[in-house]
Structure formats: structure tokens, C-alpha cells
Amino acid sequence: MVLKANNIFKSYGQLAILKGVNLEIERGEVVSIVGKSGAGKSTLLHILGTLDLADQGEVFIRDTEVRRLSSKQLAAFRNQHIGFVFQFHHLLPEFTALENVCMPGYILKTEEAKLRQRAVELLDFLGLKDRITHKPNEMSGGEQQRVAVARALINQPDIIFADEPTGNLDSAASSDLHQLIRQLSDQFNQTFVIVTHNKELADLSDRCLEMTDGALA
């Protein structure tokens, strides 16, 4: 098991967002979380991905209960074990595709030659061999999002969290990214947890969970 969440509660002021969420994710699964806006999907994703802390409950990733980690330990754990893909790719505009992909590896202090080799291999696998030296403004939206996927994969994380990863893409680029996620899971046993409104992406998942009023159905 890659991830286990027990009895997760989260409120902002008097507004209860998550109301006792329980979830288990196996290695290699693609799990989508769907639901209406305001149901708590992104809040849950941020807590599972250690970007936010629950008011109550436990989150285990690789048998590590993340709430027990200090801020410094948590940042290091997140960099090594977790990848993120967001609706907006958040690439650094002054750096090339290769340099953007390498960033998490630089933080992890991976040996540079090995890091750059893996980044080139990932970009090649994702169909971006001819874009390695291009900066974000020289690439399409779909290409930029694939660079973001490569960046999420560079440290070989246990799990990748994606928040509306196709929300800013046209239909063709969205379909390409859906197939890519499925391929990464099938070929490399990569685990994904995805918040999405996209039915096609949800249908490609191994499991689709619906969040309603702060709880998973």
C-alpha cells in the first residue's frame, strides 16, 4: 500500500470541509476523485500530498505518518516521495524544459550527470525529445504540461497527485495526457491520485471516487 488516510477532518473557521475521510491507495493504481465544486476535493488532495495538514486524522505514505515529521523533514520527504501536477504547469519561464525537469533532482542533490540523463529519457518518453532546449513560451500548453509531468516523475516518487491536470488544455492535448497517465501506470507501476471534472480521465482510472459534502462515497 502506498497511501492510507484515516479519519481526515479539516475545517476553515466554522466551515467544515472534510468530515472523516478514509482512503487507501495501492501501488500502481490510478484513482480519480470527482465531485461538485466546493465538495472538498482539492483540500483532500493537498492534505494527502502534505501541502496542508488535517485538523484530525492520519496520513501514511510508505508507512510514514506525515504529521509526525518536522517542517524540514516533511519538505525533504515530499521532494523524494511525492510528485505534483497542477492545472497550471508552474514551469520556471527562464529555464529550458530540461532544466525545469531537473529542478526537484537538484533539490535532492542527485548527481548531475545521472539526473540530466534521466530527465532526457523522460522527455524523450513523453514525446518531447525535440523540445529539450526550449523554454516554456516556446512550447504549446500540452507540451508544457508534459514537461510538468516529467518534472513530477524525475525523483521516481511513490505517488503523484494531480489537481485538474487537463483543466487548462484543449480536448486533443487533454486526451494525450489521459493516455500518458494510463501508460505511465501500466508500464512503470506509477501511482496517481487525480482530482478532475473530466469524465474521460475519470473513466480511464482504476477507481473513481465521488466526494460529496466532505466525504468520499
- The answer to whether residue 72 sits within a structural domain is yes
Q: Which pLDDT score is estimated for 200?
A: 78
- The answer to whether residue 38 sits within a structural domain is yes
Residue-by-residue pLDDT tens, the chain, 217 positions: 899 999 999 999 888 999 999 999 999 999 999 988 777 888 999 999 998 999 999 999 988 999 899 999 999 999 999 999 886 778 999 999 999 999 999 998 999 999 999 999 999 988 898 999 999 999 998 899 889 999 999 999 999 999 887 776 778 878 888 888 888 888 889 999 999 887 877 888 899 999 888 888 7
Residue range(s) defining the domain that contains residue 201: 3-90+139-216
Please tell me whether residue 105 adopts helix, strand or coil conformation.
helix
- The answer to whether residue 148 sits within a structural domain is yes
Give the DSSP H or E segment for 34: strand 30-34
Domain count, the chain: 1
DSSP symbol at 217: -
Nearest one of 156, 206, 199, 158 to 182, comparing CA atoms? 206
Put simply, whether the predicted model's pTM sits higher than 0.95 gets the answer: no
- The answer to whether residue 158 sits within a structural domain is yes
Q: Which pLDDT score is estimated for 145?
A: 87
- The answer to whether residue 101 sits within a structural domain is no
Q: Which pLDDT score is estimated for 47?
A: 94
Q: Which pLDDT score is estimated for 207?
A: 92
- CATH number reported for the structural domain that contains residue 174 in this entry: 3.40.50.300
Nearest one of 217, 187, 214, 212 to 30, comparing CA atoms? 187
Give the DSSP H or E segment for 123: helix 112-125
- The answer to whether residue 36 sits within a structural domain is yes
- The answer to whether residue 115 sits within a structural domain is no
Q: Which pLDDT score is estimated for 37?
A: 79
- The answer to whether residue 132 sits within a structural domain is no
Q: Which pLDDT score is estimated for 148?
A: 92
Give the Å distances, CA to CA, from 19 to 7, 25, 36, 129, 212.
8, 19, 16, 45, 10
